[in-house]
Amino acid sequence: MSLRQRLVVLGATGSVGRSTLDVASRHPDKLQVWALSAHRDAEGLLALCRQFRPARAVLVDAAAATRLQQALRTEEIPTEVEAGSAALDAIASAPEADQVMAAIAGSPGLASTLAALKAGKRVLIANKEPLVMAGALMMRAAAASGATVLPIDSEHNAIFQCLPASARCGETVPPGIRRILLTASGGPFRETPLTELAAVTPEQAVRHPNWSMGRKISVDSATMMNKGLELIEAAVLYGVDEARIEVLIHPESIIHSMVEYDDGSTLAQLGRPDMRTPIAHALAWPGRWESGVEGLDWRQLAQLRFQTADLARFPALRLARAALRAAGPAPNVFNASNEVAVARFLEGKLRFTAIAELVERVLEAAPSAGLPAGDELEAVLAVDAWARGEAERLLAQDA
């Protein structure tokens, strides 16, 4: 790496984007914030442009881009503003970009993340959905271009830190590894009586006990759909089959994941539940930078608890394993139908427990739907569109 890397943050106004910029602000001698993006949050992006003075800013929404451009002109900030998804892909793959933080939530982050990989960038992947939708395509693109993939999910970053130094994302894990252990907090309803889950409100579901996250991922944590997505993601990133990945409930969120070796050793990565730790690790890799996160006070750690995930409480884990075993378009269907279900839940139009029910119904319909079997982008997008359409059809049918 050169002395000062030029950083692109896709999804800059979201929680991961802001955490990334917090870390970057601590290392102005090492990082230059070159480009920022958001969907339609012109006011949030304006504040970041004032602070970091990026060369380029992109808003997918054209009207929001116009507002940002006018505000920047008024304040005489020389950031070039562009609009649309093509502009998003352009900053992700620009020759000037050295590191790209892919932090756009959900499936909208697929195209720009893929553009960065095809351009051979060092890509920090925080949005797990593209890897679930099109893992084979993305890893193939990285291998062809020489791109470096670094995971930002706290669990997958922890796994990466616990693997041998020679291990790389997209390659089969080295010999000697018995299994991967993904930890999960269990979310806000880990001990809620099952009979009360159907009445859970969006406001309750987004109150995660340990992490500060966006609304969609907070709901995914409450249902443990996020852990199902991470299970599929682990198979993509580390080349391990589903049977060698275990999910453990760990309420304290101190151990972020573990790798168990054939000799009986288990390596774990521990830290406070703060996304700045994995972000700083990836930005600095293979070095280490200060992140703004305090180390653990071992005298205050009274206990670290672990328990098996209850599949009656968290059916998303069963569905994720089934999708991973089915392979082909099934993981993509799993992700797309969940995004539709969560959106409806957050709108107050779907019961909390109906999220997993809808995902299961769409997965059951997929084998007879004649879906494309390939993993090229057109096929991936076609499957995604079918799954969303099927989810909406079933919701309309139930109304």
Could you give the CA distance from residue 396 to residue 366 in angstroms, rounded to a whole number?
18
Report pLDDT for 212: 63
Type of residue at 360: E
CA-closest candidate to residue 248, choices 236, 260, 235, 239: 260
Of the candidate ranges 106-115, 160-169, 208-217, 289-298, the one whose mean pLDDT is the lowest: 208-217
Residue 222 has pLDDT above 60, yes or no: yes
Report pLDDT for 211: 64
Residue ranges per structural domain of the chain: 5-151, 328-399
The pLDDT of 272-276, averaged and rounded, is 95
At 189-198, the pLDDT tens digits run 999 999 999 9
At 26-64, the pLDDT tens digits run 999 999 999 999 999 999 999 999 999 999 999 999 999
The pLDDT of 204-221, averaged and rounded, is 82
Could you give the CA distance from residue 177 to residue 240 in angstroms, rounded to a whole number?
10
332: left (phi over 0), alpha (psi -120 to 50) or beta: alpha
Report pLDDT for 3: 75
Residue 2 has pLDDT above 60, yes or no: no
State percent of the chain over pLDDT 70. Answer: 98
* Residues constituting the chain: 399
Q: For Cα atoms 46, 47, 48, give the angle at the middle one, nearest 5 degrees.
A: 90
What class has domain 328-399?
mainly alpha
Could you give the CA distance from residue 394 to residue 389 in angstroms, rounded to a whole number?
9
The pLDDT of 246-252, averaged and rounded, is 95
Residue 207 has pLDDT above 90, yes or no: no
Token pair in block for residue 236:
């993509």
* CATH T-level topology, domain 5-151: Rossmann fold (3.40.50)
Residue 11 has pLDDT above 60, yes or no: yes
The pLDDT of 323-331, averaged and rounded, is 93
At 353-374, the pLDDT tens digits run 999 999 999 999 999 999 988 8
CA-closest candidate to residue 353, choices 145, 192, 144, 147: 192
pLDDT level of residue 1 (50, 70, 90 thresholds): very low
At 80-93, the pLDDT tens digits run 999 999 999 999 99
Report pLDDT for 105: 84
Q: Is the model's pTM score more than 0.85? A: yes
Token pair in block for residue 202:
């969006």
